Structure 1
Amino acid sequence: MTLLFDRPIQGPKTHAFVIGVGKYPYAKAGMGVQENLRRVPDLPSAADSAKLMCDWLVNNQDRLSAPLATLDVLISDPTDSNHRYSWARGPVDTATEANVSARGLQWYDRVVAEPGNIAFFYCCGHGASHLQQPVLFLEDLNQNRVNVWTHINLGLLAFALRKCQSVSAAFLFSDACGQYVPEFELGKAQDCRFFDEPSVFSASRNQVSLLCAAAEGQLAYEGVDKEGSDLKFGRFTQAVLKGLSGSSARWTRSGWGVSCRDLLGDLKPLRRVFFSHWGDNEPFEPYPAVTPTDPIPIVFPDGFELPLVVMTDPPDRMSHYNFVISQKNDPTPPWLKNRDAGDPSAWYTTVPPGRDALYAIAVKGTDHYPLLFQPKEPLFDQWVSVP
């Protein structure tokens, strides 16, 4: 199968590899090798999450830190067609061990072929923690009795990329669980290796980011994209894409950029602001398996607004005030955003990015109480002092 996206680029470029494992045919009743692996459910949302990430990469091909040159994709897609993400790209091959080994090596070779290149890797599916490293299980889980736990060791991949002196940056994302599986943890499973064996004696560089949906012993969850929708994607994936699309942007010398370090700190607030319809019954605890030293930009987004959360101080006065966002210290129109009194909850809104100051103003009758702020980054904790 050819690459999903391929174009010639002069100079440093981004090479992306996306894997979505939504189908586990050998981990079902009456199939496969081990009895304890015959109850693994399929994950249509994992396949659709990979498709969503592919669309984002193609749509932002020229806004990445280095322009997108290639995108290779492997998706194991279950046959369930109900309430699925409509995707016009493809077809693509499945995420089997053989395909991941072959295509992953081609991706890795492209990444290290020229100095200054950037590696982008994303995966979604069932996962676990093995020897304190995050892993992703592949489609042929439970197929081969010699190695029933077919998986990618994501921590080792990150470690190998840190040893690559020519790679300017690597951004890795895993939307998978981090739970402990005793049989897997204590066994001798061989990971699917498609990168050079990292030398323990060569120097490592801190240019790699690996963000994971769930830490060791924790689960990752899916969720609908908006209230009333039937479309489900990985919650981590949705929060990451919200941040990458501009909601986690900061002003830099090169313009509005989203760095991996800032994105990590914003994921939980972004979930609270944009995805409150998920509820609080299931945890959302993304964590950094590998963190770079410098705030390396991933993307320079365009056409976005920054999230803003406004509360009164004291909080119990919230419902007593109208609110406006204005370019001047004056509650009269025109204003950028407004909300009427009566709602006791925090005001979740967005504002255009800029380096000029704005005012968040609480209004009651003829009195108003301003808060000056600068919309050069997401602001999740703005307090307006009121009587």
Structure 2
Amino acid sequence: MLDRPVKGPKTHAFVIGVGNYPDAKANRGVLDILRGVPNLPSAADSAKLMCDWLLGNQDRLAAPLATLDALISDPVDPGGRYPWARGPVDSATEANVKKRGLEWYERVVAEPGNIAFFYCCGHGASHLQQPVLFLEDLNQSLVNVWTHINLGSLARALGKSQSISAAFMFSDACGQFVRDFELEDAQDCRFFHRPNLFATSSNQVSLLCAAAEGQLAYEGTDRNGSDFKFGRFTQAVLKGLSGSSARWSHNRWGVTCRDLLGDLKSLRRVFFSHWSENEPFEPYPAVTQTDPIPIVFPDGFELPIVVMTDPPDRMPHYNFVISQKSEPTQPWLKSRDAGDPSAWFTTVPPGLDALYAIAVKGADHYPLLLQPKEPLFDRWVSVP
């Protein structure tokens, strides 16, 4: 999908989306308990969305993107699908993942300073307390019914590499406990070198997962009224990576995994409020970096801000403005009229200069000093 020459340290990305499970259907496959696994078109579309983001930001990553490889098992489902003209790509079978995954891994470790980027989406589970992703040929073979990638093992292997500078891993899959899988001596799809247990770990690997052990991950539309469904975790991650989780650090705007993780629930709340509240959104870090470095240096973005009065019941009585001055005189950056009892969500340009969120009622006004060098969630303006 992408293979270009880059001088110096570079990023190598591998994207896997498993939306088709043909042998996990009625009258197919090996095990009865796996004959009702639904296809997951949103997983295939989520992988496509991630590919588009990587290609669109190839020169903004911590190290420029040199290669991008993708395996996507795409079910035949014509309704409400993400339009994508970059395909077709090969499917995420065990054989393809072993071959292409090894090629990706060897590119990553070939030169010092390289960065690994790994993303996957599909049906998943927890196996021996490690997150896993099931592949397309789940329930196909008597020899290995539970074809899967053990993401924890991959993270450990990358962490033992002495050449890479960082690895960023994201898994949008469930972490549910499956008794038969847990009791089975299932062989994972291993496309990486067995790590030397006595080698020093770099501790520069992060693995963010959509759901912890025993939890489910969910899909959702990208906006209210849309037919396009993607993994909720994927959408929140991409919103953060695109600038909504940026911080000013070392004279640049960057997004680290630690900041992204801390923002995900707030990003879900303010950008994706149309998702059902009955389905949990509990991302968690399966592996964390000791010294987080930015994943991306975004450009052309605004930072989210959420403003509320203190006390909250005064909210509908005040007009609001965002201004570069502490007085509510025009021109201002953003404004909202009184009458709405809900918190005011808007965005502001990033910067190191002060801004003010001002509650206005008649001739009275109450400013709150802000510095938009990071997302500004839950800012309270004290009013009478």
Same fold (TM over 0.5): yes
What residue number does 2:15 align with?
A: 18
The CA distance in 2 between the partners of 1:48 and 1:359, in whole Å, is 40
What residue number does 2:358 align with?
A: 361
What residue number does 1:29 align with?
A: 26
What residue number does 1:123 align with?
A: 120
The CA distance in 1 between the partners of 2:135 and 2:14, in whole Å, is 15
Q: Deviations over 1:308-346 (max 9, x none)?
A: 010101111111100000000111211100111111111
**Aligned counterpart for 2:304 among listed residues 283, 307, 314:** 307
Equivalent residue of 2:242, what SS?
Answer: helix
Equivalent residue of 2:225, what SS?
Answer: coil
Could you tell me whether the CA contact under 8 Å between 2:72 and 2:89 is conserved in 1? yes
What residue number does 2:102 align with?
A: 105
Could you tell me whether the CA contact under 8 Å between 1:18 and 1:123 is conserved in 2? yes
Q: Calculate the TM-score normalised by the size of structure 1.
A: 0.99
The CA distance in 2 between the partners of 1:193 and 1:167, in whole Å, is 19
Q: Deviations over 1:204-254 (max 9, x none)?
A: 111000000000000000000000001000000000000000000000114
Structure 2 counterpart of 1:33, which letter?
Answer: V
Q: Deviations over 1:110-154 (max 9, x none)?
A: 000000000000000000000000000000000001100000000
**Aligned counterpart for 1:318 among listed residues 312, 315, 318:** 315
**Aligned counterpart for 2:200 among listed residues 197, 203, 209:** 203
Q: How does 1:1-387 map to 2 (within 5 A)?
A: 4-387=1-384
Could you tell me whether the CA contact under 8 Å between 1:262 and 1:295 is conserved in 2? no
Structure 1 counterpart of 2:281, which letter?
Answer: F
The structure 1 segments of at least 4 consecutive aligned residues displaced by more than 4 Å after TM superposition are none
Equivalent residue of 2:42, what SS?
Answer: helix
What percent of counterpart residues are identical?
Answer: 82
The CA distance in 1 between the partners of 2:47 and 2:251, in whole Å, is 29
More deviation in 17-26 or 248-257? 248-257
Q: Deviations over 1:30-85 (max 9, x none)?
A: 00001110000000000000000000000000000000000000000000011000
The alpha carbon displacement at 1:279 in A equals 2.4
Number of corresponding residues? 384
Equivalent residue of 2:274, what SS?
Answer: helix
The CA distance in 2 between the partners of 1:91 and 1:42, in whole Å, is 18
The CA distance in 2 between the partners of 1:254 and 1:180, in whole Å, is 44
Q: Calculate the TM-score normalised by the size of structure 2.
A: 0.99
Could you tell me whether the CA contact under 8 Å between 2:204 and 2:292 is conserved in 1? no
Identify unmatched segments of 5+ residues in structure 2. Answer: none
Structure 2 counterpart of 1:174, which letter?
Answer: S
